[in-house]
Structure 1
Amino acid sequence: MMIDVVLPCLDEEAALPWVLGRMLPGYRPIVVDNGSIDDSVAVASAHGAQVVHEPRRGFGAACHAGLLACTAEVVCFMDADASLDPRQLPELVEPILAGARDLMLGRRRVTPGASWPLHARAANAVLARGLSRRTSARLRDLGPMRACRRQDLLDLKLSDRRFGYPLEMVLRAARAGWRIAEVDVDYLRRSGRSKVTGTVAGTLRAIADMRRVLAECERESAR
């Protein structure tokens, strides 16, 4: 069975050869270019990835464009900056294929030299605790490595196209009764600077987007 892997991408020419070179047989990479000004598109194509162009900037926009391009029954999401190892994807996919889980998340296990600033870790921990209080999912990380069934995810009708996309996915999945779990994955030194959590300003933008998504979902629940 083929598994599609969505890789949102913004100026990742240095990281893509390692990421795509470690993609296992049966895992089809779909690189979603979100307006790169480097050679990311050429590098992705040269390494055998399907390339999708999403001109509208935003992490959620790139993820959703990749999802729409997928055709496999099971889809994965992961960052394209070499902070995550594609060879650990089967640890998330196998519970989905076995019918034991509906959504699997990779809980980041920090390795020596990993680029995860303290302010970003703290924000992630607070959001994960808040999510656990609102749902039955006992999560410790809103990790960017994920796996689920394509049609089920489309049926959730996610609307956020910014940094709130990962949080909205879990919230709507929990509301729909999905069985959600996480498994440890290595978090490595990324190539280049993070577009989200590499700065305090970037982290604050992500938090603002996620708080907005939380508020919108709570309003929907109250109706």
Structure 2
Amino acid sequence: MIDVVLPCLNEAEALPWVLARMPAGFRPLVVDNASTDGSARVAADHGARVVAAPARGFGAACHAGLLAATADTVCVMDADASLDPAELHRLVAALNDLEAPGRPPGLVLGRRRPTGRGAWPPHARLGNAVLARSLNRRAGTRLRDLGPLRAARRAALTGLDVRDRRFGYPLETVLRAAAAGWRITEIDVAYRPRTGESKVTGTLGGTVRAVRDMRRVLAETGA
């Protein structure tokens, strides 16, 4: 069994599609980040385990899900239907390839490839590209996306001791993994227009907040 952490803030409209497409062998953990639209009830009604993360913040939700997970392998993905759970098998297969016997821990990221109009607005794509270049200079990685779809081993992730609880959480995870000598790669995944109102990439304000949080993480680590 593989646990899938789904940080969730008001995604009641999107959750039925996401949970219905969860592959066999993948167990959804919907981390309710103080939603006000009944997301927790919808998730439970569709068979997901619901984890409460009342302190707002993307990183807070991700970390709460990671601590609640029990499977050896953990995936993280957005709950807004922009990413298809059917892609999870490919991420785990890539992770298994990275971690051949004798190799260090691995981290696999999904590189988003937009498949519909409005899936990834230009301002969000530009901010992501700038941050990816800064990350690569700092960490020696060759990533083109800091996307929200990831796969790694639970024990290794908790051992990274990631501190950020806002939008800097994904970037800090990569920085700490690179510093620890992990093998890090990315594979292409389809990126659809999200369902419902966007809190981050679909709005200029959300993108600015995410970039600000990630720049703060880079600054705090000397990048």
TM-score by length of 2: 0.95
1:163 pairs, out of 151, 167, 179, with 167
1:96 Cα deviation from its structure 2 partner: 2.0
Runs of 4+ in 1 over 4 A off after TM superposition: none
- Residue 193 (1) aligns with residue 193 (2): no
Once residues 156 and 84 of structure 2 are traced to their aligned partners in structure 1, the CA distance between those partners, rounded to angstroms, is: 25
Give the CA RMSD over aligned residues: 1.1
| Counterparts of residues 32-181 of structure 1 (less than 5 Å) | 32-98=31-97, 99-100=99-100, 102-181=106-185
1:113 Cα deviation from its structure 2 partner: 2.4
Match for 1:165: what amino acid?
Y
TM-score by length of 1: 0.95
- Residue 29 (1) aligns with residue 28 (2): yes
- Residue 209 (1) aligns with residue 209 (2): no
1:24 Cα deviation from its structure 2 partner: 0.3
Aligned position for 1:10: 9
Once residues 159 and 96 of structure 2 are traced to their aligned partners in structure 1, the CA distance between those partners, rounded to angstroms, is: 18
Identity between Structure 1 and Structure 2 (%): 66
SS at match of 1:107: strand
SS at match of 1:96: helix
Tell me if the contact between 1:124 and 1:142 (Cα under 8 Å) persists in the aligned partners: yes
Once residues 104 and 40 of structure 1 are traced to their aligned partners in structure 2, the CA distance between those partners, rounded to angstroms, is: 28
Match for 1:115: what amino acid?
A
Tell me if the contact between 1:60 and 1:162 (Cα under 8 Å) persists in the aligned partners: yes
1:114 Cα deviation from its structure 2 partner: 4.2
- Matched length: 218
Moved more, 143-152 or 190-199: 190-199
Match for 1:112: what amino acid?
G
1:117-168 CA distance string (max 9 Å, x none): 1100000011011111112210000010000000000000000000000000
Unaligned runs of 5+ in 1: none
